Structure 1
Amino acid sequence: MAKWLPRDLWIVIIGMVLLYTGLSFIWPFNMIYMTQELGMTTTDASLVLLINSGVGIVSSIIGGLIFDRFSGFISLTIGTIILVLATASLCFFHGFPFFIWNLWGVGVAMGMVFSGLYAAAGLTHPTGGRTGFNAIYVAQNIGVAVGPLLAGLLATRGMSHVYIGSFIFALIFAGYFFFFFHKIDWKSEKVTAETKHRKKGIKREFPTKLALWSFVLLLLAYLLCQLPHVQWQSNLSTYMTEIKGVTASQYGNLWSLNGALIVLGQLILIPVVGRFKKHLLAQIYIGIFLFILSFVVAMNASVYSGFVIGMTFLTIGEMFAWPAIPTIAYQLAPKGAAGLYQGLVNGMATAARMLAPFVGAIVVQNLGGIKALFIGAFILLGCALISITLQQILQKKDQQEKTALQVSISQEE
């Protein structure tokens, strides 16, 4: 796969590795740090994460709009500057309430940079298909593998060292960004054709009603998949550490396992996914069924090895489902909205990070404990299956109508 990736996409890929390695120093420990170090209740900590994700959604959309309206380089520059400032502040001020404010600053930066990198991945690959998005997804998970592992080592010396490590990686990313990203051909014919920079002769397209509803159902399916998935980062982390005796270091290692499996598993999965290259729906179906299986295992796990098995199923499910979502969004995006559509997809993942901890905590505390959380996860994943099925039906119908219209026009000419 590597030899087929263009230079500009490689620049984006390496940037994602550096970015997510640094961010992975922070997010796996947020819930644990707020509840155990800052003395916050699970509900209060979840509310903080809810607001953090809310600002991330807004910044994702704003970043996507800036990407389309002006330049991807401009949107990424703004996000990078905010990231450096927020992580620098976090190094010195991580008590209450400064930790919360700095976390929200990181959330703003993540939204802008993520939407920009995913849009750039689609626009810098010749076909704009799954290959580019899969490459950026793998890059992200190299960071997931390395970041928590390094953070776990630093955490033994105190959380202040973890936040210093995050700041160092933010500086490395910023240096890499300003040195290499300006070399990307932001004015290439493909980029200018699919975004709406201020150039004469470039007209913005608008989606049909079927295409718009298809995109809405795609976002809904993604949200319904991400809501259970994020429980592994939030309420299940508390369940594992406080009820099942899993240490913070062991929990961090679960996410290192997640990233390592995604990176190493590509050697096995790429040939498998190749068989489903034109069948994105099948990829998402497989992913959702593996998500369900991961919760079945976690629900019955009594020792750490059980959660390791559950994480393995969750990870393989990700490898099938997650790259397919932005690929479909890229297919649905009209010219002039590539950045916006990727921003909205990223916004759905952020919305899940916003809602899942808070809603999950309410379910656990008021609706029957951890078992109710697992039941809710199964229901949401079942609804995701329905939503993505309807999405594909509408997308195919829209494509058929467009094809029929083109044939009719060509016959008239």
Structure 2
Amino acid sequence: MQAKRRGMAMEKQVKELPLIWLLIGNLVESTGMSFIWPLTTIYMHDYLGKSLTVAGVVLFIGSMAMIAGNYTGGYLYDHKDARHYLLLALTLSLFATGFLVFESGWPYYPLMIILNNFAIGVSGTIVNSLATTIKRYDSRYVFNLMYFMANVGVVLGTLGVGFVINISVRLIFIINFVMFAVFFVIASLFYKVPKNDKHHLKQAKQGGMKTRRYAVYIITAVLIAYFVIQLGYAQWQSNLSVYMEKLGISLSKYSLLWTINGVIIVCLQPIISWIDEHYNVDIFKKVYLGIGLFVVAYSSLIVAHAYWMFIMSMVIVTVGEVCLFPAIPTVVDKLSSASEKGKYQGQIGIAASLGHAIGPLFGGVVIEHYSYGILFTLMALGVFMSEGWLILCRRLKAKIGD
């Protein structure tokens, strides 16, 4: 009898997507993408001779394409064969990155970047949704590790691109293609929808159980907070560099802030994961703490004028990021019904992409008509209000009902 039970347990484990390959795939894809995204603006401006405005338009369209991919990926996961469409999306990425190896001039470069962004939106949402099928571990543990591996990839990619670009720009495109090829092989071999989880696909097709109304309100509040935070985070990646230059702080020192960001994430994330695993910290406490730290960090920019102040602000931002960003897909996973996992995991990507798309334009308009101080004040106030709305939604849970 015991032998039979062990055999059944092993069979159950085989049916479940292996976490290790999910993490390796996440690392490979993140590393490959991190060879490309820092290059986009510089490549179009310095190599293709296009204006920064044109580069900004391409980045905006790319973000919109990723949003479309996030939505499409969520729909496909809930209603179709997830693995089939994941491989199809990765095939599109292989085509786009492979094309750039041989032809990276205008207008092929922006077209392939936009196509790849759409494909990444689809594949990223499906992979996040597949992560919710892993039952051997708590979802917060899974998403903590995925976030950690993605950031290790960012650190490796952004460090590597500086060395590779001195050798050859084409070599960057080759590396990007190879990374997606490796990811495709991993996905084709190991990313299979578990048999014991396929029932949720059937439920979705037949109009299965929807996410409860109170849960939809809370998820929406979380996504609004995430969007507002990403709106502010986009200022760090765009307008803040100009502001620091005006204060006499060099571009190299600005770049160092992102190195600090990556190092803190890689060092702190395993500690946070260990605390989660051993002390079972309430997930919403982490969400509140993370959002609160973003309020403090954005507020600190209002008075920042020396480099050490920007370092402290970046440290606070990064700690808030480590607390909040992996917690968001966990919260969404725990609150959404089995038939709508893909839908709401896709909306996480949409919130982030929308914030990154609108952020630079929003910041530019505010700076042009008012000031940097007003921009930082609006960022802090927006995040503060979104946290208040989330707390209110949770307290009204009983009144909202099912």
Q: Is the pair's TM-score, using the shorter chain for normalization, greater than 0.5? A: yes
Residue identity over aligned pairs, in percent, reads 27
Separation (CA, whole Å) in 1 of partners of 2:310 and 2:165: 21
Residue 38 of structure 2 aligns to a residue in which SS? helix
- Per-residue CA deviations over 1:228-281 (Å, capped at 9, x if unaligned) read 112222322454568655446x65554444333222213432344458745333
Residue 204 of structure 1 aligns to a residue in which SS? coil
TM-score (norm. length: structure 2): 0.85
CA contact (8 A) 1:155 1:162 kept: yes
Among 386, 389, 399, the alignment partner of 1:387 is 389
Q: Which residue of 2 aligns with 1:354?
A: 357
CA contact (8 A) 2:21 2:186 kept: no
Separation (CA, whole Å) in 2 of partners of 1:300 and 1:256: 23
**Counterpart residue identity of residue 87, structure 1:** T
CA contact (8 A) 1:144 1:258 kept: no
- The 1:97/1:363 distance shift into structure 2, 3 A limit, reads farther
- Per-residue CA deviations over 1:187-227 (Å, capped at 9, x if unaligned) read 421x223333799xx76112343333333222212111111
- The 1:64/1:7 distance shift into structure 2, 3 A limit, reads closer
Separation (CA, whole Å) in 2 of partners of 1:99 and 1:369: 35
Alignment of 1:127-138 (within 5 A): 129-138=139-148
Among 357, 374, 377, the alignment partner of 2:376 is 374
TM-score (norm. length: structure 1): 0.83
Separation (CA, whole Å) in 2 of partners of 1:128 and 1:50: 36
1:286 aligns with 2:296: no
Alignment of 1:267-282 (within 5 A): 267-273=270-276, 277=280, 279-282=282-285
Separation (CA, whole Å) in 2 of partners of 1:258 and 1:13: 21
Among 227, 235, 246, the alignment partner of 1:223 is 227
Residue 196 of structure 1 aligns to a residue in which SS? helix
Q: Offset at 1:317?
A: 0.7
Alignment of 1:10-409 (within 5 A): 10-34=20-44, 38=48, 40=50, 42-126=52-136, 129-157=139-167, 159-181=169-191, 184=192, 186-189=193-196, 191-196=197-202, 204-240=208-244, 244-247=248-251, 254-273=257-276, 277=280, 279-298=282-301, 306-364=309-367, 366-395=368-397, 401=401
Separation (CA, whole Å) in 2 of partners of 1:256 and 1:74: 37
CA contact (8 A) 2:25 2:187 kept: yes
CA contact (8 A) 2:125 2:349 kept: yes
Runs (5+) with no aligned partner, structure 1:
403-413
**Counterpart residue identity of residue 75, structure 2:** L
**Counterpart residue identity of residue 194, structure 1:** H
**Counterpart residue identity of residue 155, structure 1:** I
Runs (5+) with no aligned partner, structure 2:
1-12
- Per-residue CA deviations over 1:94-131 (Å, capped at 9, x if unaligned) read 44433322221121021011101111111123465312
Query: Comparing 112-121 with 152-161, which one deviates more in the overlay?
Result: 152-161
Aligned length: 388
